[in-house]
Amino acid sequence: MRTSAHTFSPPDYGSKCSGSSFLIAAHIVILAGMLAFTAMPLAAQAGDAQAGAAALKDRQCTVCHSIAGRGGNLAPDLARRSGQDFTPATLAAMMWNHGPAMWQAMEQRKMAVPALRSDEILDLYAYFFWLRYFEPPGDAGRGRVVFVSKSCNQCHALVVTNGTGPGKPVPEWAALTDPVLWIQNMWNHGGEMALELQRRGIAWPRLTVQEMTDLMVYLLNLPGLPARQPGLRFGQGASGEEVLRDKNCMDCHTFGVAAPGMVDLAGVSRRERSLAGLAATMWNHRPIMAAAAEQKGVPMKPFEGRQMAHLISYLFEENYFDEPGDAARGANLFQSKQCGSCHGVAGTGAPALLGTGGGFMPANFGSAVWTHGPAMLKTFQQRGINWPNLTGRDVSDIMAYLNRQ
């Protein structure tokens, strides 16, 4: 059995567009991985995948795009992507590059380009994270092999029956539809599982990112499970920083700082930039972290309530899931792409980006570009300036440059 990682039960979006195209509400908006032209505070906001899906349904925005085969056929299905390494910055760069053509098509159809709030972007971003858009395509057949080869089946049954094993049966896992809750439950389950594996003489099973993705796809597609609904909710970034301290993470980790005997979490993110990657990293290192905690006399605390969601939100705000940026290269790009020809120049109406104290985050670009993008395009055309193309690396580098000013 082969099933895509993006198999799910999408909401019924309808086939009519009532003023805004799905290509606005989904592709650019959510993956707002580009620099923010206006930095807006996001720490007090939480993205909700269910709200993101509802926004698409309410707007009837599938005139161009579909999701998993449902919707329009004028543009690519957003739940199916090529095999390239996607990050928020990569997708945002793609949408920036295609913006002029999309705005022209909307103008021809007499469709207004709506202004989109930053909270809507976060909801849509959460929705696409729930679709696992940034992870490698999963395969349910391979996932079944993982479930058996990693000895998951020795404790967890695929059906609910009496006396099937010490672990909770898969149909009772609340985390199946929420990758953040999945990470939290796997972490909390680690201590109990370590004891059970030791009792059975089984080594701690390590998982690659692909194996983690395949495993999730397999379990999500088991027969008899209820229809999948968006379950991912980001938390509060400010609370996430508190979680790192509360869980004693900073006794062994730093964030963006190299220190002897410490592991830089930002460095880890450069290798694993997806939720499945974070889950695999935490799972694989749990025995090592447990041993280090015991040696230091630090308790291994479980995550409770929304704590993992808060932590994920904090990591997201710190660009954990994006490409690393080169500020020096970003400075050159800022000039060569002629960003400085408008931003900060009197009379252009474009806000200053330099010297604003940073705070440029992936999630706030979408609101700015869809509010100001068409006007920017007209300004470029009046000045005889070509719309600049950007790569994902360009986006990350420019963000790094702006955040250091």
In the block, tokens 């990569």 appear at: 90
**Helices vs strands, H then E, count in the chain:** 15, 4
For position 253, what pLDDT does the model report?
85
CA angle, residues 162, 165, 170, in degrees to nearest 5: 85
Q: Which residue has the higher pLDDT, 14 or 322?
A: 322
For position 269, what pLDDT does the model report?
60
Q: Which residue has the higher pLDDT, 251 or 106?
A: 251
Report, as an integer, the average pLDDT of 261-265. Answer: 82
For position 314, what pLDDT does the model report?
84
In the chain, where the domains are located: 22-134+366-387, 140-181+190-220, 237-317
Helix (H, G, I), strand (E, B) or coil at 215: helix
Q: How far is CA 278 from CA 93, 266, 270, 326, in A?
A: 24, 12, 11, 23
The Cα 70–Cα 165 span in angstroms is 40
In the block, tokens 């109406």 appear at: 349
Cβ-proximal residues to 107 (8 Å cutoff; 6+ apart), any chain: none
Q: Which 8-state DSSP code applies to residue 43?
A: T
For position 9, what pLDDT does the model report?
36
Count the helix, strand and coil residues of the chain and give each as a percent rounded to the nearest 5.
50, 0, 45
CA 286 to chain CA centroid, Å, is 23
For position 45, what pLDDT does the model report?
53
Min mean pLDDT across 70-79, 93-102, 282-291 is at: 70-79
Q: The whole model's pTM is what?
A: 0.72
Report, as an integer, the average pLDDT of 170-194. Answer: 87
Report, as an integer, the average pLDDT of 169-183. Answer: 84
pLDDT in tens, 188-218: 989 999 999 999 999 999 999 899 989 988 9
For position 194, what pLDDT does the model report?
92
67, pLDDT greater than 80: no
Could you give the residue ranges of the DSSP H alpha helices within 299-358? 307-317, 327-336
Cβ-proximal residues to 330 (8 Å cutoff; 6+ apart), any chain: 396, 397, 398, 399, 400, 401, 402
Confidence of residue 37 (pLDDT cuts 50, 70, 90): very low
Look over the chain and give the mean of its residue pLDDT values, rounded to a whole number: 76
> Of the ranges 72-86, 104-118, 327-341, which is most confident?
327-341
For position 144, what pLDDT does the model report?
96
